[in-house]
Structure 1
Amino acid sequence: MKTYLAATALGLTFAAGGAWMLTRPGDAPLGATSIPGAAMAQDAAGDAPAAEVDTSSIVDMVQGSEDAPVEMIEYASFTCPHCADFSENQYQQLKTDYIDTGLVRFTMREVYFDRFGLWASMVARCGGEMRFFGIAEELYASQRDWIAGGQDPAAIAENLRTIGVQSGLDGEAVDACLSDGDQAATLVAWFQENAAADEVNSTPTLIIDGEKYSNMAYDDLADIIDARLEEAGVEPPAR
């Protein structure tokens, strides 16, 4: 499905094949909550087309050497269980074998299926580039716990705030990040631009040297990276 939805029409549904797909839900719109400390995205983003929002302030979250011979982008949602599994398994091995060794430059780009994934992203980004990946790992590791509030926005917002504070962020800073409607609108527009450009409609989606792949086992992923390294005249690591 190649449908890119407005900020107020993002939703979540499970699809066959182990992916979470973009869909149009019948429940509450993104950001439609009045609780203190939660991202007020609806007023900020709901009425403005993504093309009218300046997204230049949003930076990619990147790990690895600038000179790495292979570039990889992961499109992921913090509310996607397959992304949590990728973070716990493939990503950890990828980081050890390829990112930390200077062979792969890795970028994570967030996908927003729902308001809760957006709020999680805002907490992760609240720590800046230095803390983003550490907070992201914690969000994935405790995904079942912080989502346990179901559809109660207040409970989920408080759970996310707790993760931010436990990760070393100041509580007032987390509250400010979660309440930043302009940032929420900009992030949603940024996500829509990226999804349209790379034709992303499920997570995790992987872009390796410009070629798109679906989620896969680590050995299969490593085989693709090794082939790219060999094309670049670089010897792959021993596995």
Structure 2
Amino acid sequence: MEPAGDQTAESPASGEIATPAPAPTPAPVTTSEEEVLLAPHVLGDPNAPVTIIEYASLTCPHCAAFHRETFPQIKEKYIDTGKVKLESRDFPLDERAALATLLAYCVPDDRYFPLIDLLFEQQHSWAVAPNLIEQLKKMAGFAGLSSEDADACFNNQALYDKVLGQRKIYSDSGAVSSTPTFYVNGSKIVGAQPFATFEEAIEAALN
């Protein structure tokens, strides 16, 4: 399995200045594209007034930095209190990220975000490891996925095609060209920005 080579983009430096802006008008989604898109995973109250849409790649170091340093603060202040929900849209930049994304979709829904957190936390141990499959199986094991189930997941061509197909749709829509990219009720934030940047955008959306 090889992802299309023309979609890989470098992540911006974590210090890049965020530029809140209206969300771009997405390209029309055809029936065939709707069939490709996987249902995004949502963390938080489905009725929360503010939605953060996150486009991330599991091998992206700036995405990992966001999840280690900024996301816990957002979760504590806004998600756990019912003010914000996070919609995760996987945007794998390379083959390793695509394989890790497959595993995340193969675990039970309630273990998706814990596995994502673990993959970002342990990114240094698997993203560049020569024994990638073995390391990913170890990560999946913490989420209750057996070695046999992980193998079946890696060999699920239909799911793999959907993971790459939705990445192309997201890219073609103009919504994202690098990771991480966020939309806070339509305001765009690019890069692993500090908590204060997200706090400002969230408070503006709440008020």
Bin for the TM-score computed over the shorter chain: 0.7 to 0.9
CA distance in 2, matches of 1:15, 1:138: 20
1:105 to 81, 85, 103: 85
CA distance in 2, matches of 1:148, 1:17: 20
| Counterpart residue number, 1:163 | 139
| Counterpart residue number, 1:9 | 5
- Local SS of the residue matching 2:93: coil
Distance change in 2, residues 1:17/1:148 (3 Å): closer
TM-score w.r.t. the length of structure 2 is 0.83
User: Post-superposition, which runs of at least 4 consecutive aligned residues in structure 1 deviate over 4 A?
Assistant: 10-16, 50-54
Give CA-to-partner distance per residue, 1:39-92, whole Å, 9 cap, x none: xxxxxxxxxxx9966635621010111211111101000000000010111111
| Counterpart residue number, 1:127 | 107
CA distance in 1, matches of 2:6, 2:95: 8
More relative contact order in 1 or in 2 (CA 8 Å, sep 6+)?
2
2:199 to 206, 218, 222: 222
The answer to whether the Cα contact below 8 Å between 1:123 and 1:164 also exists between their aligned partners in 2 is yes
Q: Which ranges of structure 1 fall in alignment gaps of 5 or more residues?
A: 1-5, 20-49, 231-239
1:173 to 127, 149, 153: 149
The answer to whether the Cα contact below 8 Å between 2:52 and 2:185 also exists between their aligned partners in 1 is yes
CA distance in 2, matches of 1:59, 1:69: 20
CA distance in 2, matches of 1:163, 1:92: 20
CA distance in 2, matches of 1:203, 1:59: 20
Q: Which ranges of structure 2 fall in alignment gaps of 5 or more residues?
A: 16-29
- Local SS of the residue matching 1:202: coil
| Counterpart residue number, 2:45 | 65
1:219 offset after TM fit, Å?
0.9
Highest CA radius of gyration, 1 or 2?
1
CA distance in 1, matches of 2:47, 2:10: 38
* Residue range with higher mean Cα deviation, 221-230 or 166-175: 166-175
1:18 offset after TM fit, Å?
3.8
TM-score w.r.t. the length of structure 1 is 0.73
| Counterpart residue number, 1:199 | 175
Distance change in 2, residues 1:208/1:13 (3 Å): closer
CA distance in 1, matches of 2:70, 2:11: 21
CA RMSD in angstroms, aligned pairs only: 2.4
Distance change in 2, residues 1:78/1:228 (3 Å): same
The answer to whether the Cα contact below 8 Å between 1:10 and 1:112 also exists between their aligned partners in 2 is no
Letter in 1 for 2:93: F
What is the count of residue pairs matched by the alignment? 191
| Counterpart residue number, 1:30 | none
| Counterpart residue number, 1:148 | 128
Question: Could you tell me the percent identity over the aligned residues?
Answer: 28
